[in-house]
Amino acid sequence: MRGPHNIIRLIRTGATLERTGAMNVVLDAFEAPRAIRILAHVLGKPFQWLGYKGDPDMPPATRALTALGPAYIKFGQVLSTRPDVVGNELAAQLRVLQDKLPPFSKAEAMAEVEKELGQSIAEVFSDFSEPIAAASIAQVHKAKLTSTGEDVAVKVLRPNVERAFRKDVDAFYFAARIVDLFAPGARRLRPMEVIEHFDGVVRGELDLRLESAAASEYAANTKDDDGFWLPPVVWSLSARRVMTLSWADGIPLGDNDALDAAGHNRRDLAERVLRLFLLHALRDGYFHADMHQGNLKVAANGDIIAYDYGIMGHIDEYTRRVYAEILFGFIRRDYKRVAEVHFEAGYVPADRDVDEFARALRAVGEPIFGMDATHISMGRLLSYLFEVTERFGMETRTELILLQRTMVVVEGVARSLDDHMNIWEVAHPVVEDYIKRSIGPRAALRDFGKTAMVLARFGPRLPALVENALIAQTKSDDTLASSKFAILLPAAIGAAAGIAATLAVMSFG
């Protein structure tokens, strides 16, 4: 599937942007230099006829991305949260991609539900509505359970969406290979690994059984978080292409007029969205990685309700600590420490100058502090940060892709609620609390305890390990066997002693 035929798919992407009039809109939004504009039009205009026509009633950018398919729609969803990058007008146009896309028919949805659940609609639901929200991968219907009369939300995958995504992802793989072959300077970005990561995320989003499991784990982690709520999954009515949740009413987080009319404090909501994201990422290592306005609502009591758990991010404890130290260093304006953390974690090659890197980070961080958020161009800031990473040979960290992407989205959502918000001030208490709990003496003791538990699990195998080493020694005078014995016996004895000492410390310390 990932052969040269994908050239047509990539050419068609540019042709669609040109045909729908979206090319100029996109170039203007990103303030593209003249050379890029000329190149884009030279490559796009001759192939306009290959481009998709799209819905002429939609604005150009929305029209183009919708016509190109679900993977491109996902990209548009991210941009819709960044008016500081693409401008307010384009961001508003793209927001319809979050949950207002053209739906497929109710009849198709009902047929899919019956097929997946193995029951007729009438057996399960006494009422099943027309689509109330439609996004790139699935749409949602409101229904009423026949058994209890409870209102529920039924999420159904779009017909053939798996095939559509496969085509796009194949084209992305081909583009990544082209970059690897013809743009050696971009290899540090590891385009193939990035696409592989995206592919894995998409595959998970296309199986609603995995989304149901993610929702359950996420709810367990966050059950005690004030001002945050997740509708529970109805497991008996969920399958691979259908997912049923308890119904939850609320005002979309992107509808500022409605939020104001209902008396909600938008500044509080903006700060809470950012704090919750950081709390989940740092405390749990498991966070909602698709937190655009279409997936967030505000209940009548002010709680933020999160939907759509198809894309969840996971980061291990070590990476969380690195990320927290980097954030905390920026917050404290300790650029030397931020630079050192990058080197310690292996994010920057060891042969680079740490002091020079710290000065480059200062140039990125200093414009943020003491300024009104509306005066900061996140687009220019990200552009400069990219130049810095390229200069110092930093490679793309695939384990941080979702975290970085979600941070960008969440910041965009928060600023759409309060464009004067300073993300660093809001982040400070969350990051500081995590630092205190995870990098101090208590954390060291906790890590020691975890290590002891791991060693203790291998304790019963130590006698056999020593016995096997002794047998190997007596059966053969081979030098290799002797060397194995010389290594294994002290290691076994040392491990046993280590376990004993550790357990003693845990018992009496």
Evaluate the CA torsion angle 189, 190, 196, 197 in order and state its sign: negative
Residue 196 corresponds to which tokens in the numbers above? 């592989």
Tokens of residue 155, six digits: 């999420």
Read off the tokens for 408. 């960008």
| Both structure tokens of 421 | 């918000």
Dihedral pair phi/psi, residue 146, rounded to 5°: -65, -35
SS3 of 348-415: CCCCCCHHHHHHHHHHHHHHHCCCCHHHCCHHHHHHHHHHHHHHCCCCCCHHHHHHHHHHHHHHHHHH
Output the six-digit token pair for 207: 């199986």
Which of 290, 308, 334, 418 is catalytic? The answer is 290
Q: Give the burial string for 83-120 (b: 16+ CB within 10 Å, else e).
A: bbbbbeebbebbbbbbbebebbeeeebbebbbebbeee
Gyration radius from the chain CA atoms: 27
DSSP tally for the chain: helices H, then strands E: 24, 10
Q: Is 290 marked active-site?
A: yes
Give the H or E element holding residue 138.
strand 138-145
- Given a contact cutoff of 8 angstroms between Cβ atoms, the answer to whether 311 and 264 are in contact is no
Q: Which amino acid would we find at residue 270?
A: A
Q: By the 8 A CB rule, do 319 and 282 touch?
A: no
Task: Give the integer Cα–Cα distance in Å for 413 and 82.
Answer: 8
CA distance 59 to 21: 9
> Is the Cβ–Cβ distance between 296 and 410 less than 8 Å?
no
Distances (CA, A) of 467 to 283, 320, 458, 476, 479: 43, 41, 15, 14, 18
Q: Which residues form the catalytic set?
A: 290
